[in-house]
Amino acid sequence: MRSRFMNPIVYYSVKKIIDAWDPLNLFPMAPPDEYESEIRSICERIEAHPSWRESDDIEHLAKFIGDRCDGDFRHYDWAKYMEITQKIIDAIQE
């Protein structure tokens, strides 16, 4: 278990974007914390790899987000993962 607190700006930015995307189309029937595991792992990844602002790392982060949120289903294409990743980066940088 990590003793470090998660950055609230990162957490709420990621949560807002992932919940709005609703990659598995579970809302409004799902509970508000439906994507909590995915959101936390994305936040941890962002905080553990501060170089995510670089282009190669943005692609790695997009792949990670696709793997975590879309898994084996692959309902979305690469462009969607990049779009979501860019939205997260933009929100964190504001």
Max Cα distance, the chain (Å): 37
The model's pTM: 0.88
Question: 53 falls in which pLDDT band (50, 70, 90)?
Answer: low
Cα dihedral sign, 8-9-12-18: negative
Residue 28 lies in a domain: no
Give the domain extent around 85.
8-21+33-93
For the chain, what is the domain count?
A: 1
Is residue 2 in a domain?
no
Q: Helices (DSSP H) in 1-94: which residue ranges?
A: 8-21, 36-48, 55-70, 78-93
How would residue 55 be classed by pLDDT, with cut points 50, 70 and 90?
A: low
| Residue 89 included in any domain | yes
Give domain status of residue 26, yes or no: no
- What is the length of the chain? 94
Is residue 27 situated within a structural domain? no
Summarised one tens digit per residue, pLDDT across range 16-47 is 999 999 999 999 999 999 999 999 999 999 98
Q: How confident is the model at residue 4 (pLDDT cuts 50, 70, 90)?
A: low
